[in-house]
Amino acid sequence: MAEKTKKAQIILKRQVVTKAIVTPKFKEFLKYELEENVKFYKNKLTDINARLNATPATDPASGQLHAEKQEADQYIQSEASQRSFIDDLEIDSQYSQGPVEGFVTVSTGDNLYEKLGGVEIIVKDGVITKISSSASQFDKVTTKA
């Protein structure tokens, strides 16, 4: 009886692109997230101002606090433009929510480029409607027509 040899395996992290189909519920969710983030930055700004008042201007921490204050101010000031962006999203269009990390098991003999690239998840109101993968960039570049 021949002994079966086990292939070496390893689990790797990869980026998976997530896109949402724009619906009224999704737009409502984005507005909620925006409101929560603005509340967070307003609270952070209050905290920063209190810390700035208690920190001498010559203290090195003062510069960091001013940078954090500027970041919080900019986010709060961008609320109207972000709200307008959300309002202008077209129903049934796709909105890129950015990458999430996923894991993939690779073994000896696997095409690494296929395993790590080109995976996309489409969601509608939080429910996955499609998972797809595309040809690896390596194959696109190296395959002759």
Whether the CB-CB separation of 51 and 64 falls below 8 Å is answered with no
Whether the CB-CB separation of 119 and 14 falls below 8 Å is answered with yes
Which residue, among 7, 16, 5, has the nearest Cα to 104 in the 3D structure? 16
Q: Residue 1's pLDDT is what?
A: 53
Task: Indicate the angle between helix axes 60-77 and 24-54, nearest 10 degrees.
Answer: 150
Q: Which amino acid is at 12?
A: L
Average pLDDT over every residue of 4-25? 89
Q: Residue 4's pLDDT is what?
A: 65
Q: Residue 50's pLDDT is what?
A: 93
pTM: 0.73
Q: Where are the alpha helices (DSSP H) in 55-119?
A: 60-77, 79-88, 112-116
**Confidence band for 144, pLDDT divided at 50, 70 and 90:** low
Q: Residue 45's pLDDT is what?
A: 94
Average pLDDT value over all residues in the chain: 89
pLDDT per residue as tens digits for the range 57-87: 888 888 899 999 999 999 999 999 999 999 9
Cα R_g (the chain), whole angstroms: 23
